[in-house]
Amino acid sequence: MNASPEPPLNLLVIEDNPADFRLLVRHLHKEGLAADCTRVASNEELEAALTAASPWTLALADYKIPGMDFVSTLGMIRARCPELPVILLSGTVGEERAVELLHCGVGDFVLKDHLIRLVPAIKRSLRETEDQRARRDAQAALRESEEKYRILADYSPNWEYWLAPDGAYRYVSPACREVSGYAPAEFFADPGLMDSIIHPDDLNAWQMHRQGLLGTHPVPLSFRIHTRDGDERWLEHVCKPVLDEAGRFIGWRGSHRDVTERRRAEQKVDFLTYRDPLTGLPNRSLFHELLTRAIARAERTGTEFALLFLDLDNFKTVNESLGHSQGDQLLIAVGRRLRDALPDGNALARIGGDEFNLILERGRRLPGIDLLAQHLIDALNEPFIIDERHIYIGVSIGIALYPADGQEIETLQSSADAALNQAKQQGRGILRFFSPELTTRAKDRLTLEAELRHAIEGNELLLYYQPQTDLTSGETVGLEALVRWHHPERGMIPPGDFIPLAEESGLVVPLGDWVLHMACRQIKAWLDAGLAPRRTAVNVSAVQLSREHLIESVKHALRETGIPPERLELEITESFVIADREQSFKALAELRALGVRLSIDDFGTGYSSLAYLQHIEIHELKIDISFVRDVTTNLSNASIVKAIIALGHSLGSEVVAEGVETQAQADYLRALHCDLIQGYLVSRPLSVEDMTLYLSRSGATSRDASREDTDLDPSCAARGVLQGS
């Protein structure tokens, strides 16, 4: 297939010598370059040729022509045909001058003696001109398009912008200032400005969106910015890549629309649909939605939750006597007080007049539902002060559990409603579970809780002490303080019956403070009397450890009594790590720094995380009673005990066996190199008076070994322990 022949080039030849011209034409012909050549030899002829209609493709100019100056010739050409490429053709001009001329707009230069270079020079020159023209056309198109865009964008209410392919701003419209408070120039100056004004919660979405823009179908994005004045505004952003006519990527054009008003209106509609306008709490519709979700979640995770119906006891009377506006104020205050009394993340709603509903999902840290409900009742029993008047109002609460009291919304709600009715009938200001057994249990627990609170404030708690004895020397090395509750009606209540409830209700914190101070005072008294063993241990609950308060409490007790810190030991159950890990580790490290001793209680029963043992120097491990009980008969328990002793020693801790009741156990433990024992074999926990006696006799052991009173005589017990060896 033949390509259609190229049209001949139209060459303007400025040459005074006709022979040279003929030579040139022949050469071009010989080289196969199709060209129509026109010769001019004076300024007038040149002028005429340049103004003629024929479009010249290229000019070939001799350097020296009589009556013509080469530089003016060049000027004439540039003036008429600015883009016409010019090749200097000369036999005389020197190299230096030729280079100078190249800088003045001559495309190339060829010596007449080297005509062989001419055709390649013509071709190169034409190619370059073509490229330049294309580039210039593209730029012009771009400028034109930018110009058109700018005219539109300058008047747009939206904040329009244009980015170069490298992401730099080429244009930002004036509306930018109105929307963001920042001037276009500030965006040019700081490429990070946009990211820095975007709401932190939306930044991630914005960055993803920016990456998505590289794709072919970018999706609009709504996000918030902070304006220069600190206002929050909603913007909707669209942006797309821009291509030139040849399909080349030349940047992005984007637009931010201020949609704040629309968003606010939507939120308002949302609020009116789903919120109680008075208290701002979720309303009936939203609560229904929340309850549906709670059921789905519980079903999925196999967990339980409680639905509480709350009804204010005296609201009607109060509302009628005070008037509606004060009634409204009261409801707002009730909503706020309820919300403040609840742990985070539980759903509270106002359903109607004086009815509130609540979902309690049982988190790890949530106190029992009964305790929490009672807490709400107590909170609303405190008077409200409205317009300087004290107003008393109570609340009754009905509680249904999912799934036990209903697996569908309707059944669960009617169970809670039935429970509430009972509470109302049975005296108001009380809580009732749908299930009577739970109500009975709750009543017992609540009574106990109230009594315990009273016991801590009153004089019903006591500390008993139990000795820890060295298995080799028989010496009383330490004591453990154990709390006792002397209930006025029920007699002595063991800690196992009230410590768990105290932990659940948070009462263990004041209780723990009391124990700590009492124990320190007792240590001080025994120190003064010359009776104190090397250390006395106090039990600390994981709940105490997870609150910052403990450190202060220990410091205070040490300061108040002036006892050396190493006289005090804190027993922490192994399970403490399950609670608030970080806070617990921090607390342990701080306690350690105070100089008090640390002991891990009930070792072997808890969460066996050994990591903390490496991080914090522990003075003592206490082998749990459950391993000690049958250590002599149960092989696997015996090997656990062996392993704990080895572990303790490798960490440099002393090992104490708890609950040692028999001589055989003591002998066995000694054979395993256990350091200390604590248990009925040596002594039961003793009251302060009995322990004082015990200690004074223990000190007197070496002087007087003939006592009969074995129960309280440490010498006999300790001798027994030693005799086994």
Only segment of 28-36, 96-104, 405-413, 508-516 that touches ligand C2E (CB under 6 A):
508-516
Closer to Mg ion by CB, 448 or 657: give it.
657
> Quick one: residue 549, left, alpha or beta (phi over 0 = left, psi -120 to 50 = alpha)?
alpha
Only segment of 308-316, 390-398, 658-666, 687-695 that touches ligand C2E (CB under 6 A):
658-666
Using Cβ positions, the residue closest to ligand C2E within the complex turns out to be 679
**Residue of 184, 218, 478, 685 that binds ligand C2E (CB under 6 A):** 685
Closer to Mg ion by CB, 620 or 658: give it.
658
Closer to ligand C2E by CB, 405 or 571: give it.
571
Query: At closest approach, how far in Å is the CB of 539 from ligand C2E?
Result: 4
690 binds ligand C2E (CB under 6 A): no
| Phi and psi, residue 170, nearest 5° | -105, -25
Cα(63)–Cα(656) distance, integer angstroms: 113
Only segment of 240-248, 560-568, 659-667, 710-718 that touches ligand C2E (CB under 6 A):
659-667
Name the residue type at position 409.
I
For the record, the structure tokens of 165 come out as: 């392919």
Query: At closest approach, how far in Å is the CB of 300 from ligand C2E?
Result: 36
Closer to Mg ion by CB, 118 or 540: give it.
540
Only segment of 13-21, 38-46, 448-456, 655-663 that touches ligand C2E (CB under 6 A):
655-663
**Residue of 85, 282, 467, 659 that binds ligand C2E (CB under 6 A):** 659
**Size of interface with ligand C2E, in residues (CB under 6 A):** 23
420 binds ligand C2E (CB under 6 A): no
495 binds ligand C2E (CB under 6 A): yes
494 binds ligand C2E (CB under 6 A): yes
Closer to ligand C2E by CB, 251 or 512: give it.
512
482 binds ligand C2E (CB under 6 A): yes
Nearest to 620 by CA among 541, 683, 549, 538: 538
Query: At closest approach, how far in Å is the CB of 688 from ligand C2E?
Result: 14
CA torsion sign, 402 to 405 to 411 to 416? negative
Per partner kind, with CB cut-offs from 5 to 8 A, the member of Mg ion, ligand C2E, none near residue 499 is ligand C2E
Closer to ligand C2E by CB, 173 or 469: give it.
469
Cα(132)–Cα(128) distance, integer angstroms: 6
Bridge pairing between strands 597-603 and 249-258:
unpaired
Per partner kind, with CB cut-offs from 5 to 8 A, the member of Mg ion, ligand C2E, none near residue 515 is ligand C2E
For the record, the structure tokens of 240 come out as: 């797309």
Binding mask 565-584 for ligand C2E (x = CB under 6 A): ------x-------------
Cα(567)–Cα(130) distance, integer angstroms: 97
679 binds ligand C2E (CB under 6 A): yes
Catalog residues that contact Mg ion under the rule CB under 5 A: 539, 571, 601-602, 658
499 binds ligand C2E (CB under 6 A): yes
Cα(419)–Cα(427) distance, integer angstroms: 13
Cα(227)–Cα(178) distance, integer angstroms: 10
CB atoms within 10 A of CB 76: 15
**Residue of 74, 176, 419, 515 that binds ligand C2E (CB under 6 A):** 515
Query: At closest approach, how far in Å is the CB of 665 from Mg ion?
Result: 15
Binding mask 588-607 for ligand C2E (x = CB under 6 A): -------------xx-----
Binding mask 603-642 for ligand C2E (x = CB under 6 A): ----------------------x-----------------
553 binds ligand C2E (CB under 6 A): no
The 8-class DSSP code of residue 528 comes to H
334 binds ligand C2E (CB under 6 A): no
For the record, the structure tokens of 66 come out as: 């009589």
Query: At closest approach, how far in Å is the CB of 657 from ligand C2E?
Result: 10
Cα(725)–Cα(719) distance, integer angstroms: 10
Nearest to 84 by CA among 63, 101, 60, 68: 60
**Residue of 90, 541, 584, 715 that binds ligand C2E (CB under 6 A):** 541
The per-residue DSSP string of 586-608 comes to HHHHHHHHHT-EEEEEEETSS--
Cα(469)–Cα(682) distance, integer angstroms: 8
Closer to ligand C2E by CB, 327 or 512: give it.
512
396 sits in which H/E element: strand 395-402
Query: At closest approach, how far in Å is the CB of 671 from ligand C2E?
Result: 19
Per partner kind, with CB cut-offs from 5 to 8 A, the member of Mg ion, ligand C2E, none near residue 685 is ligand C2E
Three-state DSSP state, 447? helix
Per partner kind, with CB cut-offs from 5 to 8 A, the member of Mg ion, ligand C2E, none near residue 107 is none
Three-state DSSP state, 160? strand
CA torsion sign, 215 to 218 to 224 to 225? positive
Query: At closest approach, how far in Å is the CB of 521 from Mg ion?
Result: 19
13 binds ligand C2E (CB under 6 A): no
Closer to ligand C2E by CB, 495 or 506: give it.
495
Only segment of 160-168, 351-359, 490-498, 609-617 that touches ligand C2E (CB under 6 A):
490-498
**Residue of 396, 415, 439, 466 that binds ligand C2E (CB under 6 A):** 466
> Quick one: residue 188, left, alpha or beta (phi over 0 = left, psi -120 to 50 = alpha)?
alpha
Largest CA distance in the chain: 152
Cα(119)–Cα(12) distance, integer angstroms: 15
Which ranges of 313-467 does DSSP label H, i.e. alpha helix?
315-322, 324-341, 369-381, 409-425, 436-457
For the record, the structure tokens of 153 come out as: 């964008």
Residue ranges with strand state E in 443-533:
461-470, 476-487, 491-493
48 sits in which H/E element: helix 43-51
CA torsion sign, 75 to 81 to 85 to 89? negative
Query: At closest approach, how far in Å is the CB of 554 from Mg ion?
Result: 16
Do 109 and 59 form a contact (C-beta atoms < 8 A)?
A: no
Q: Which residues lie closer than 8 Å to 178 by C-beta, 6 or more apart?
A: 159
539 binds ligand C2E (CB under 6 A): yes
Query: At closest approach, how far in Å is the CB of 609 from Mg ion?
Result: 18
Query: At closest approach, how far in Å is the CB of 208 from ligand C2E?
Result: 50
Query: At closest approach, how far in Å is the CB of 493 from ligand C2E?
Result: 10
| Phi and psi, residue 434, nearest 5° | -65, -40
Do 331 and 279 form a contact (C-beta atoms < 8 A)?
A: yes
Strand partners of residue 620:
599, 654
491 binds ligand C2E (CB under 6 A): no
Cα(363)–Cα(361) distance, integer angstroms: 6
For the record, the structure tokens of 439 come out as: 């109500």
**Residue of 55, 491, 496, 562 that binds ligand C2E (CB under 6 A):** 496
Cα(631)–Cα(625) distance, integer angstroms: 10
451 binds ligand C2E (CB under 6 A): no
680 binds ligand C2E (CB under 6 A): yes
Per partner kind, with CB cut-offs from 5 to 8 A, the member of ligand C2E, Mg ion, none near residue 31 is none
Cα(107)–Cα(87) distance, integer angstroms: 5
Three-state DSSP state, 639? helix
Query: At closest approach, how far in Å is the CB of 503 from Mg ion?
Result: 14
| Chain positions contacting ligand C2E, by CB under 6 A | 466, 482-483, 494-496, 499, 508, 512, 515, 539, 541, 571, 601-602, 625, 658-661, 679-680, 685
